[in-house]
Amino acid sequence: MKFSDKQIHKNKTLFYCLLALLAWLPIPLGSNRPWAWSIFELASYALFAFAAYKYRQTLFPRLSVYKLPIALFTGFLFYVVVQTIPLPSALLSLLSPESANMYLTAGVSTAPISIDAPQTSISLYKSVAYFCVFLTTLLLCDELKKIKLLMLLIIFAGLFQAMYGALEILFGAETSWIFQLPVKQNATGTFVYKNHFANFLMLCLSVGVGYLVSTLLTSKPTGGGHQKLRNFLSMFLNGKAFVRIALAIMVIALVMSRSRMGNTAFFLSMTVVGLLSLFLIKKRTKGLTLLIISMFIIDMFILSAWFGLDKVKDRIEQTSLSTETRDEVVIDSIPLLQDFALTGSGLGTYYTAFPQHTGDEVYAFYDHAHNDYLQFAIELGIPATLVIFSLPLIALWQCVKVLKNRRSSIARGAAFGALMGIVGMAIHISVDFPLQAPANATYFIVILAIGFVVSNKRLR
């Protein structure tokens, strides 16, 4: 019995370490600096190593339930390793003629597929860290109550970012309170780029809405006046009201970011998943329908109107193709895709390859394609991109099945949130690069893991 208690204690300790890592990630500029992502990499490697050792006797049976997503993720990592291996010029010319020509021009006879192997190695280390977080989440989230705690942590992380970002603007701060960076008119939280901040909030909001859905799915009939009063007081005691207030604050901060696609991704994903859930969830309560309606009415038309949704709308309406250069970046990147369609230029090498195809219309420096679909296809090649992008598609399908078939309110709420996050991310990355920020990418990976975990019928 003592041994069992000790094992449970170790399990909880590792789980809380995972929560601590996730809480830390967005704070140091979204972990989008070498020193910050190095801390993340070391922490994620160590955490998975401890988790694997802890479950060493049952490691493979536990993970075998998720063998398809793990196999796809492993295949992706294996291919990135292949991109860094020096190859003879004859073989390189066969696999990647464009890379071979670049190296031959430089007088290099043996070279890798990647046109910038050090950058690809950096991206590989990050990708391995994401994989470690993915596996650790699959291992440690073996109970529904842990899924609930994980969702609450994500909500708290989003609330902190929202309050920090909004208060900086409302108090008129000229430099950020933590890193002393210049503060503009847009809320950015502890991130540097407003669209990364908006995307992070979108992910946290998705999980928050899913948490609320889980509480509504357990709602009981209101009964008489005394029962209604008890239900009202219970709403505050069980944290439902707090989460609803936290979501309202996050929506305010999201609008204050002035991110066009960040706002669009959240509200559109909420619309799509909300309507879909009305068809999928059997025996739903009236509270679920009211929640979806209230999110539209209260958040979009009242709160966000006070804090600047009209300005976001104006930015969308005033966007001109003559002043917007990001579309030119996409157009100029098409030849890159044609050159590296099969094997890619190497993960993390877009900013090395793009200057060679820059048109006269693009006068600024772009280190990302402002379209993650395109950037991944250029860097990895189309086949490898299809492999890694199949992960969210499979997770999406698993979430749909959970909403339709599972009875657990927590599982269905988590699936709702994960589905919202996947749809929102799919929309946002069509015009930006949120997956290039380690904090955003990690939270998205965790959301995918949640989608897979709640589909496990053994989860109780």
pLDDT, tens digit, 9 for 90 and up, residues 11-44: 789 999 999 999 999 999 999 999 999 999 999 9
| 110-111 and 87-88 strand pairing | antiparallel
Q: How far apart are CA 370 and CA 378, in angstroms?
A: 13
Locate all alpha helices (DSSP H) within 30-143, ordered by sequence: 34-54, 59-64, 67-83, 89-95, 97-105, 117-140
Cβ of 174: how many Cβ atoms within 10 Å? 9
Q: Is the dihedral of CA 433, 179, 206, 413 positive or negative?
A: positive
pLDDT higher at 283 or 143: 143
Cα 252 to the center of its chain, rounded Å: 20
Pick from 85, 89, 91: which is nearest to 105 by CA?
89
Q: How far apart are CA 67 and CA 394, in angstroms?
A: 12
Q: How far apart are CA 209 and CA 413, in angstroms?
A: 8
pTM above 0.85, yes or no: yes
Contact 361, 394 (CB under 8 A): no
Average pLDDT, the chain: 87
Ramachandran category for residue 371: left, alpha or beta (phi over 0 → left; psi -120 to 50 → alpha): beta
46, pLDDT greater than 70: yes
301, pLDDT greater than 90: no
Contact 52, 187 (CB under 8 A): no
CA distances from 156 to 105, 161, 267, 326 (A): 53, 9, 20, 33
pLDDT higher at 389 or 361: 389
pLDDT, tens digit, 9 for 90 and up, residues 411-453: 999 999 999 999 999 999 999 999 999 999 999 999 999 999 9
Q: Residues 267-279: what's their mean pLDDT?
A: 90
pLDDT higher at 460 or 445: 445
What's the token pair of residue 192? Answer: 């540097």
Q: How far apart are CA 342 and CA 206, in angstroms?
A: 35
Complete DSSP assignment for 374-423 = HHHHHHH-HHHHHHHHHHHHHHHHHHHHHHHH---HHHHHHHHHHHHHHH
Domain locations in the chain? 2-323+364-453
Instruction: Determine the 3-state secondary structure of 368 from DSSP.
Output: coil
pLDDT, tens digit, 9 for 90 and up, residues 135-191: 999 999 989 999 999 999 999 999 999 999 999 999 988 888 888 888 888 999 999
